[in-house]
Amino acid sequence: MPRTADHDARREQIADGLVRVAGRDGLHAVTMRSVAAEAGVSLRLVQYYFDSKAELMNAALRRLERLSRERWEARLAALPEPSPRAFVEALLEEALPTDPESRAFHQVWTSYAVLSITDPSLAARPFVDGPDRLERQIAEALDGAIRRGADPRTEAARLLALVHGLGTGVLVGQRSPAAALDVLRYHLDELFSGSGADPGPPAHRDRPGP
């Protein structure tokens, strides 16, 4: 008896094909046909699972959001009983495009975010829900662990905005991933100074610029 097709796996295969096309050629190059070719399936199969390009793009967006959560969870799982500083630093480092895989991910995610501003067919919530969730996690970790008088929620928002800006700088070649990490760690050193918490590794301020 032939094995029943794993429809969820097939949808993920097609969505991953879209992500690869967008990462390599840009979101503007995405078509049902180009995704089919990249995923190694027929155009008819893509059309069977997705009625329109908009539906396919939203499926790929949800796939990106899930992969993002899985990357964060895997990174945190590798830190048994981390200090608040180590926990926050791990979350924020994962939000930077520091290797080829994360660079491709952030490039596609940023392209989606820009397109969603003018394209009502794209779901808007993933671009808000993900950062909101991360900001809450950071604020909870900062509470009681940072310098006296600092507000955890405000500092979490500031750190997330900093990382977003640094990530864009890395993508456009303004600075290297290592230089972006130095800036991040410099701010974390300042934030955790005088708190009594583990300050973590110092920023490498003597490293040359980008």
pLDDT at 195: 55
| Residue 19 in this model has a pLDDT that exceeds 80 | yes
Q: Which residue has the tokens 């032939």?
A: 2
The model's pLDDT over 96-148, given as tens digits with 9 standing for 90+, comes to: 999 888 888 888 888 888 888 888 777 666 677 778 888 999 999 999 999 88
Element holding 169 (H helix, E strand): helix 152-171
Over the chain, what is the mean pLDDT? 85
Q: What's the mean pLDDT in 46-52?
A: 94
Q: What's the mean pLDDT in 177-192?
A: 95
Q: What's the mean pLDDT in 181-204?
A: 73
Q: In the chain, what are the domains?
A: 1-63 (1.10.10.60), 82-210 (1.10.357)
pLDDT at 207: 39
The model's pLDDT over 142-178, given as tens digits with 9 standing for 90+, comes to: 999 998 889 999 999 999 999 999 999 999 999 999 9
| Residue 210 in this model has a pLDDT that exceeds 60 | no
Cβ–Cβ under 8 Å, residues 64 and 105:
yes
Residues 11, 13: Cα–Cα separation, whole Å: 5
pLDDT at 89: 94
Residues 185, 204: Cα–Cα separation, whole Å: 8
